[in-house]
Amino acid sequence: MFKVNKIKDLGLSDIKEVYHNLSYDELFEKEQTDPYGSVTSNGTFSVDTGIFTGRSPKDKYFVMSEPSSKNISWGPVNKAVTKEIFDELFSKVKKQLSGKNIYVQDAYCGAAQHNRKSIRVVTEIAWQAHFVKNMFIRPSEDDLKNFEPDFTMYNAGKLSNKDYEKHGLHSDVFIVFNIEENIAIIGGTWYGGEMKKGIFSMMNYWLPLEGKLSMHCSANVGVENEDTALFFGLSGTGKTTLSTDKKRRLIGDDEHGWDDKGIFNFEGGCYAKCIGLDAQSEPEIFGAIKRDALLENVVLDEDGRVDYNDGSKTENTRVSYPIEHIKNHKRSLKAPHPKKIIFLTADAFGVLPPVSRLTKEQAMYYFMSGYTAKVAGTERGITEPVATFSSCFGEAFLPLHPTVYAKLLGEKIDKHNVDVYLVNTGWTGGVYGIGNRMSIKETRACIDAILDGSIENEKFEKTPIFELSIPIKLKGVKTDILNPRNTWKNKSLFDASQKELANMFIKNFKKYITEESDFSGAGPKI
């Protein structure tokens, strides 16, 4: 039970009951008394996250205070609010959470003990506590006896800020971080991913200042050779799907750190997209959806069966589950330094090859560019893929300047002699709406060839304009798709699309050119 003095520490009053660190069974019982979800036919709890079925990146703010203000890269990604506005919003949050039952969930972020942070999340909704329990590392009973949070997040999703115009904010939704006070507050959105990515944003602040790289990537490792691989990419590019491999042990599906000892997962669970999910193409993820998992925004029939092909609520249907639901995960959630890095991109232009081998300079160029397509549903207002550049494949979560992360990655690639590849999980044979999405089967064949080294036995050729090295043939992949131009019926239209995308790359990269660093020569040339 939560101690009385600890409730006062939270700043809440007249609390009816504090449900502190409930077990999965206790959370399941509480969820069924709330009107926000139901139990599916196989015993998984399923919830609706309200009108927000994706993150609200335009509603994220940091308090402008010292010394963090000197470190943060201020701009459209990291917007500032005053301490006075934060205090006013925090008062509203505490009022919202007072006078009722609340859930307090304690967890760790970071599998490496010397890097981990102790996290406390306060909410009034049972399924949100369940989400936190799934996604972060679950402390032992002994750990919880003396648990003290390094950072506390208050989730008052039911609260809307009606004074947002007076405060100069984007909308009535707010996700605000006060680094000096180690507090984050959420209002106006129920979407679970805000809690997950909020803590990720903070890890992206803390670790690089200590010379450790924080990464938006998944990771797995060979069973025998301990050959670690990293998969960078934005939501919808295949990080979870492709790193979940029956032949390899999963370290984690989304967020990792890289220090002098190797790779470590930030989380204790996975957060997979469900749209189009089937047991044949993604058996490990499909099998992980059972009791203790938590489905979001899926469509159920009258008997509680899930229709994974139904995107009528959102294309961003999701499931969170403890990583233990993946049988061949690595229990320590840690691995040696990687030997392979794979950048995943969903190219909506249908121009990039399914697999390319990158030079060190190209690796830096494509990492800083972070090209992909925003996939429907992952953010508010996105209903179909839109070409975008997100530096380091996760600019929305980077409080520091992108070059800080790029420099750390470059140093580690050099030090550990890592091979880097670019894999297109997007479209082939035409742009989005005309061409087809790359099949998971053929993408996995590309990944397998990278990981077992067989791709290096093939002959390579260079593409025009982008100058990417691509294999002429590859086991398990149709030869005609390895060079994307071959898949287009209208070759002149392909050439025009290729030049259009190349110009987008060149224009975007100009902001990263400095006297000390210029990787623009590794990009496309027109």
**Catalytic annotation, pick one of 133, 216, 330, 339:** 216
For the question of residue 197 being annotated catalytic, the response is yes
Q: Which two tokens stand for residue 442?
A: 């053929």
Please name the amino acid found at residue 132: V
**Distance separating alpha carbons of residues 370 and 375, to the nearest angstrom:** 14
Q: Which two tokens stand for residue 269?
A: 């669970």
Q: Which residue has the tokens 């307090």?
A: 104
**Distance separating alpha carbons of residues 177 and 198, to the nearest angstrom:** 8
**In 3D, which of 163, 168, 210, 151 has the Cα closest to residue 187?**
163
For the question of residue 201 being annotated catalytic, the response is no
For the question of residue 292 being annotated catalytic, the response is no
**Catalytic annotation, pick one of 46, 240, 463, 497:** 240
Which letter, b or e, does each residue of 260-292 get, where b requires 16 or more Cβ atoms within 10 Å of its Cβ?
eebbbbbbbbbbbbbbebeeeebebbbebbeeb
| Runs of H (alpha helix) within 370-520 | 402-416, 440-451, 479-482, 491-509
Q: Is 511 helix (H, G, I), strand (E, B) or coil?
A: helix
For the question of residue 41 being annotated catalytic, the response is no
Residue 352 has what DSSP assignment?
S
For the question of residue 254 being annotated catalytic, the response is yes
Name 262's bridge partners. Answer: 259
**Catalytic annotation, pick one of 20, 256, 318, 412:** 318
Residue 321 backbone dihedrals phi, psi, to 5 degrees: -155, 150
For the question of residue 318 being annotated catalytic, the response is yes
Q: What are the C-alpha distances in Å from 138 to residues 28, 107, 141, 169, 490? A: 17, 5, 9, 35, 54
**Catalytic annotation, pick one of 55, 130, 357, 380:** 55
Residue 67: cis peptide before it, omega within 30 degrees of 0: yes
Name 89's bridge partners. Answer: none
**Catalytic annotation, pick one of 60, 116, 239, 380:** 239
**In 3D, which of 103, 101, 343 has the Cα closest to residue 242?**
343
- Residue 80, exposed/middle/buried by CB under 10 A (0-12, 13-18, 19+)? middle
**Catalytic annotation, pick one of 235, 320, 428, 463:** 235
**In 3D, which of 419, 402, 412, 418 has the Cα closest to residue 355?**
419
**Catalytic annotation, pick one of 79, 116, 197, 334:** 197
Catalytic sites, residue numbers: 55, 197, 216, 235, 239-240, 254, 318
